[in-house]
Amino acid sequence: DAEKCARYRITNQAGGMCGRCMKTCPWNLQGLFAEAPFRWLAMNAPGTAKALAGLDDRLGRGAINPVKAWWWDIELDKPGKRYVAAAQTNRRGLSPDLDLKYEDQTLAVYPADVMPLPFPITQPLNREEGIARYRALLTPEEYRNRLAKGQTEGLVPGTRPPGEPPVFPMVIARREDLSDDTVRFELTRADGQPLPPFDAGAHVSLMIAPEYQRDYSLAGDPADAAKYVLGIQRESAGRGGSLLIHRVFRPGRRVFVTPPSNLFPLDEGAPFSLLLGGGIGITPMLTMAHRLHALGRDFRLHYLARGTAPFGAEIAAAPWADRAQTHLKTTGPRVDMRTLIPPYTPGAKLYTCGGAGFMDGVFDTARAQGWPEDALAREYFAVPEAPDWVNHPFTLRLTQSGRDIPVAADQSATEALAAHGIAVPTKCSDGICGVCAVTHHAPEGIEHRDYVLSARERESRVILCCSRAREDGGLLPVDL
């Protein structure tokens, strides 16, 4: 049960595994199976596996080998930006006295027609389907009987149609260190073909390492099909992805990238657009400025930075530089937002990206200047500090099927759905990207905890990775 084993050891702090697969595998030269007679018996009489494992336990063989180190015995040392021995590892041994009954186990298998495709990207598995496939497996006797009778249809699972690859290889063509903590990358397609087009405000997912898959806004001209531009800031207090990028991403390195997607779209028909980027939040604003300039639309861009302005020179050299202004704070008071945000005019749109406090200030000033909620849009790069929410159990009602899915107090709605074999696209799991948004039918009964939906959007949409029914034991009908 590869999925269950991987999930167990990945989600346990410091890693862990039950170890039974290792003890009962005749090719595992630990314990009894280091001896040739026992290996022969295990391979030629697999029904003896349980007895052999019990004998192994009684003899005290096959326990943890302190010489071997597994992949969860290392971690990223952030100050040194390298992998080192983990400060804590799970050293728990086997529990041979557990009375496990076969009929109580939920094993799953993933034949070729449902197994993940061979691409370096996180791919969800439908465990409920895997359990059903395990229960439908033929016994060896039935398999041999069908084969002998020539009844070969369905004996071997079909292949899974690959479809469009979820990622494609790119090469880092250029790296430019704009400041001590900000790097600009230009990526080109490894096969030299034109890149998938993108709209202003779009982002891509970057496969940094097996444990790091991160989203980054595109920062180039949407009309340039030859390269993608990324601006990546080193987050010393982050989870390690940006640290690794700054350390190992050099020209010539091959990386895998998803096709662009857009959760921060630009209204290209607006008569006036106001763009405000704080710090690294300037990156999606650059694509918007390029596009608005190409369309001949009226816009203004304000780049607010502290200490240094890494993208200041690029903005000054842009063909739309006369519509942009850089505000660099070194000392003294912050810029007065009222001088940057004019009174609202019908049809105008405002876009902002940056730190949570910065964007809150932009929105507060815009509202005071008469801007309505549906004219304001923002994109978070990091999860803001959340209130001390209290979780209650509640029930999701799937209106398309009529099913009721219980959600425990320590579960999110997306986790509860996944446990029942219902896959909902998710990405951030923090309420900042909007991928898991669905239509709801409970306008008064939802505790919205996301950072992406506007007040008007919340009247009909809910973010399932974080939002919940407001009342203990409440019912939340969703269009699934």
Beta strand 475-478 with 394-398: parallel, antiparallel or unpaired?
Answer: parallel
Domain for residue 320, yes or no?
yes
- The pLDDT of residue 290 is above 80: yes
**281 and 373 share one domain:** yes
Phi-psi category of residue 139: left, alpha or beta, with phi > 0 → left and psi -120 to 50 → alpha: beta
pLDDT confidence of residue 331: 66
Domain for residue 133, yes or no?
no
- The pLDDT of residue 181 is above 90: yes
* This model's pTM is above 0.85: no
**279 and 246 share one domain:** no
Q: Among 7-11, 263-267, 299-303, 340-344, whose mean pLDDT is lowest?
A: 7-11
Q: Is the model more confident about 53 or about 300?
A: 300
Domain for residue 287, yes or no?
yes
Residue where a domain stops, chosen among 81, 105, 129: 105
The residue type of 305 is A
pLDDT confidence of residue 278: 96
Domain for residue 138, yes or no?
no
Domain for residue 317, yes or no?
yes
Q: What is the pLDDT of residues 99-131, one digit of tens each?
A: 777 777 778 888 888 888 888 887 777 888 888
* Enclosing domain of residue 446: 394-478
- The pLDDT of residue 69 is above 60: no
pLDDT confidence of residue 345: 97
- The pLDDT of residue 10 is above 70: no
> How sure is the predictor about 469, in pLDDT bands with cuts at 50, 70 and 90?
very high
Q: What whole-number percentage of the chain has pLDDT above 90? A: 51
**372 and 401 share one domain:** no
**207 and 301 share one domain:** no
Beta strand 349-353 with 394-398: parallel, antiparallel or unpaired?
Answer: unpaired
Q: What is the pLDDT of residues 193-215, one digit of tens each?
A: 889 999 999 999 999 887 788 89
In whole angstroms, give the CA distance from residue 150 to residue 162: 30
Q: Among 63-67, 219-223, 247-251, 355-359, whose mean pLDDT is lowest?
A: 63-67
> What is the pLDDT averaged over residues 332-352?
93
**360 and 437 share one domain:** no
**6 and 96 share one domain:** yes
- The pLDDT of residue 443 is above 90: no
Q: Is the model more confident about 332 or about 134?
A: 134
pLDDT confidence of residue 174: 98
pLDDT confidence of residue 55: 86
395 and 405 in contact (C-beta within 8 Å)?
Answer: yes
Residue where a domain stops, chosen among 234, 257, 280: 257
The residue type of 406 is P
pLDDT confidence of residue 85: 74
Q: What is the CATH number of the domain that holds 318?
A: 3.40.50.80
pLDDT confidence of residue 455: 82
Q: Among 45-49, 280-284, 301-305, 323-327, whose mean pLDDT is lowest?
A: 45-49
Residue where a domain stops, chosen among 331, 349, 379: 379
Q: What is the mean pLDDT of the chain?
A: 87
- The pLDDT of residue 295 is above 70: yes
> How sure is the predictor about 396, in pLDDT bands with cuts at 50, 70 and 90?
very high
> How sure is the predictor about 332, in pLDDT bands with cuts at 50, 70 and 90?
low
Domain for residue 118, yes or no?
no
**286 and 367 share one domain:** yes
- The pLDDT of residue 16 is above 70: no
241 and 212 in contact (C-beta within 8 Å)?
Answer: yes
Domain for residue 119, yes or no?
no
Residue for token pair 């509640």? 394
Domain for residue 298, yes or no?
yes
In whole angstroms, give the CA distance from residue 168 to residue 299: 34
Q: What is the CATH number of the domain that holds 400?
A: 3.10.20.30
> How sure is the predictor about 80, in pLDDT bands with cuts at 50, 70 and 90?
low
**457 and 371 share one domain:** no
- Angle CA(155)–CA(119)–CA(186) in degrees, nearest 5? 165
**398 and 350 share one domain:** no
* Angle, helix 36-44 to helix 49-58, in steps of 10 degrees: 150
**400 and 354 share one domain:** no
257 and 205 in contact (C-beta within 8 Å)?
Answer: yes
- The pLDDT of residue 4 is above 70: yes
**What is the count of structural domains for the chain?**
4
The dihedrals phi and psi of 300, each to the nearest 5 degrees, come to: -135, 140
- The pLDDT of residue 148 is above 70: yes
**375 and 413 share one domain:** no
**374 and 399 share one domain:** no
pLDDT confidence of residue 22: 65
